[in-house]
Structure 1
Amino acid sequence: MDYVYRLRETTPEDKQAVLEIHKNVYDGLDYLPDYYDHFQTSDHVTPYIYMENDKIIAYLACCVVDNGETIVTRAGRVSPSRQGRHLYGHFISEIETVQRAGGKTKRHALVKSTTPSNSFLKTYKPVAAKAIHMYEYANSDVSIKMTELMSKLSKLNSHAKALETFPVAFLQSPYSKYLFPEGRILVDWVPFRLLPANIPLLKGRDTVFYSDITSETARVDDLKNGHTDETGRIQGLLSACTIFKAHHDLDLSCNLDIFGLDFRSIENHISFHLQRIYDTGMDHVNLRVYTSKTACDISLLHSTLEQFGIQAVTNGTRKEQYIEQVVYEKDISN
């Protein structure tokens, strides 16, 4: 039989066939069932499928960021029956060619949590990394702690608030060095350069930002040295939470990105985002918290979550696979 392969953009009608490509992706934490429609309608995402004759055998969502200079691929999958035939590599290569034809695309980026192959590292270079902390809990257990802790925590930091608009000032010194030492705003597994053009894209599908960093703390002259322990430092944290319906044994999954080093206010951030999770009514929740690899006082993160009855995942496949997330880039300008 002669095989004919072709690339095309997806349609809403392809959804079920795409989800049937591979039914056990990311150890049950597959986000594509919840993200498929968002990828279809997003102005900066183009989803593609790869077809063998008339059968869909692979899928990949291509996000365009950084003023169009970077494509970030997500949700990639190939039919298990077609693995080992280098088809996925051809699929990606064709997408890069199509994107490069627009004249602006210079690089292909993606985020991995597992160690890549040597052949991968010949073309992709690591450019940023964050630590992953894995937790799992039952919302019914958390709710017991909610009432008594929420009233106390709400009084700790009265200027903490959800952000309607991401502040442009956060992209500039001295904030940028403190919040984004990796040189990227890594939110919900998408790396963004510190460019104003990326601000409308940061909220993604349903990401909510929360901050207790105020402009007053940035008006002190000695901020040139970044975070210090004296009066005049940049205080507080910026956090971003994205939730989606999980599959298999879990009801909900949550990506919680933490930016900054001052973990003294972590209780406020955790309580705010937990309230949002609690309001979904879902019970069995997987929580992944991402911090700078140089973040201090991580023990405060652990102890805060323990207050809410949330325990760290200490073994199993997910613990082994989710230790750090690394951003890799490849030059595709030629």
Structure 2
Amino acid sequence: MNSSLIRCQRVTKEDYEKVMAIYPSSEIAYGGDYLPDYFHMLIDMPNNEMYAAVIEDKFVGFTLMTTVDDGESVVTRAVRVSKEYAGQGIAGIMLKWMNKGEPLYRPEVIWHRIAGNRIHSPLLQLINKGKYNKTSEHDYRYYDTHKGPLQIKYSVIGQANQSLKAEYIDVNLLGQVLASPDHKQFLFPEDEIVVDQVPYSAIQSNAHLMVTERTTVVVSDLNCPQRTLLSISNVREASIGMMINFNVYGSLSENIREHLILHFAKFLCKSKSDYILLRCISGKGINLTLLDMAVKEFGFKKTEFYGTGLVVGRRKIAYKLE
């Protein structure tokens, strides 16, 4: 590929159709692609920047960069290249361009971070080669059901559980939890939290970046850090149906049932899809037996989907070490 034929440019709202045309969304993550539903929300957030690789007037590559950690880290959140130009170095050209002239060059940026699927991501190869350091690893557990049966189950279970120990918390209280040394040692022992596939340092200032219009945060036993359970869900509509990223942190207890009641209450009335896929994301090796039992009450069944877990890595920006 002659790199002189390619130019990189900032993506705007008006480029939505061009971005979606780069690669068929239905073929990404088995129909679980988040970008069609998230595009306009993400591009309106000041810490997100989207860029395209362009040949003539055609978008042939795309990347989404998210700035976190008080500006010290930039996360590559998405990379895609059109089938026509696959294997021709488009992604590498974009990364090189960003290192020199866009998000990664900024003087305050120290780290480049990536979260990748444990099976399908090239991140593992980069970690094995020593180009990135692994900072954390997370397990996936998938469950699925359909909207009608879930609504019936939810109505029955919700009516029987009017008094809940679990509660919603807002972005300010989430920030306090992230800032609490007492809670951090039990919830985020690696000093890192992953929300909706984006890795963040467990610091207070990141809370307002984690919570979007699609986010619900629930906590129980907040006054006892050893027993605190924190759950965060993000919901999107995809080709396959409604997908829920459900992150759990802390001590998994019977309270997980109450957490699910509160999370389901937020999205069930808004769901446009009949099929619902719940992806639980937990720390590696956490026993999810209690979650299995709880979701079964709501009519969910275990299923297989895209990958078995998430790996997070980071590297220092190379030119700043020279």
Instruction: Please report how far the alpha carbon of residue 106 of structure 1 lies from its aligned counterpart in structure 2 after TM superposition.
Output: 1.3
Match of 1:60 in 2: 63
1:147-226 equivalence runs, <5 A:
147-157=155-165, 160-165=167-172, 166-215=174-223, 217=224
SS at match of 1:155: coil
Summarize deviations over 1:216-251 as a string: whole Å, max 9, x none. Answer: x35xxxxxxxxxxxxxxx32311111101111xx22
Alignment root-mean-square deviation, CA: 2.0
Distance across 1 between alignment mates of 2:289 and 2:125 = 37
Summarize deviations over 1:59-78 as a string: whole Å, max 9, x none. Answer: 11100011111111112211
Contact kept, 8 Å, 1:48 with 1:61, in 2: the verdict is yes
SS at match of 1:325: strand
SS at match of 2:8: strand
Instruction: Please report how far the alpha carbon of residue 210 of structure 1 lies from its aligned counterpart in structure 2 after TM superposition.
Output: 0.9
Say if 2:235 is the partner of 1:243.
yes
Match of 2:296 in 1: 306
Summarize deviations over 1:4-61 as a string: whole Å, max 9, x none. Answer: 1111110111100100100121110011011111222111011111112321101111
CA pair 57-254 structure 1, distance change in 2 beyond 3 A: same
Summarize deviations over 1:147-177 as a string: whole Å, max 9, x none. Answer: 22112233242x5234352242433321001
CA pair 90-172 structure 1, distance change in 2 beyond 3 A: same
Kindly report structure 1 stretches of 4+ aligned residues shifted beyond 3 Å. Answer: 114-119
Q: Find the partner of 1:331 among 309, 312, 316.
A: 316
Contact kept, 8 Å, 1:261 with 1:295, in 2: the verdict is no
Q: Which amino acid aligns with 2:48?
A: V
Summarize deviations over 1:89-128 as a string: whole Å, max 9, x none. Answer: 1112212322233211111111111344475232122111
TM-score (norm 1): 0.87
Say if 2:114 is the partner of 1:110.
yes
Say if 2:273 is the partner of 1:263.
no
Q: Find the partner of 1:145 among 127, 150, 153.
A: 153
Q: Which amino acid aligns with 1:293?
A: K
Match of 1:101 in 2: 105
- Of stretches 266-275 and 99-108 in structure 1, the one that deviates more from structure 2 is 99-108
Contact kept, 8 Å, 2:171 with 2:208, in 1: the verdict is no
Instruction: Please report how far the alpha carbon of residue 187 of structure 1 lies from its aligned counterpart in structure 2 after TM superposition.
Output: 0.4
Say if 2:11 is the partner of 1:10.
yes
Distance across 1 between alignment mates of 2:114 and 2:5 = 28
Q: Which amino acid aligns with 1:300?
A: L
Distance across 1 between alignment mates of 2:49 and 2:309 = 27
Distance across 2 between alignment mates of 1:10 and 1:213 = 43
Contact kept, 8 Å, 2:49 with 2:65, in 1: the verdict is yes
Match of 2:31 in 1: 28
- Of stretches 9-18 and 197-206 in structure 1, the one that deviates more from structure 2 is 197-206
Distance across 1 between alignment mates of 2:285 and 2:250 = 10
Distance across 2 between alignment mates of 1:275 and 1:48 = 36
Distance across 1 between alignment mates of 2:192 and 2:90 = 31
Distance across 1 between alignment mates of 2:179 and 2:249 = 12
Distance across 2 between alignment mates of 1:333 and 1:67 = 20
Percent identity between matched residues is 22
Q: Which amino acid aligns with 1:245?
A: E
Contact kept, 8 Å, 2:216 with 2:266, in 1: the verdict is no
Say if 2:93 is the partner of 1:90.
yes
CA pair 41-156 structure 1, distance change in 2 beyond 3 A: closer
Q: Which amino acid aligns with 2:286?
A: A
How many residues align? The count is 309
Match of 1:222 in 2: none
Contact kept, 8 Å, 1:213 with 1:238, in 2: the verdict is no
Contact kept, 8 Å, 1:137 with 1:311, in 2: the verdict is yes
CA pair 333-120 structure 1, distance change in 2 beyond 3 A: closer
Distance across 1 between alignment mates of 2:49 and 2:6 = 19
Contact kept, 8 Å, 2:137 with 2:311, in 1: the verdict is yes
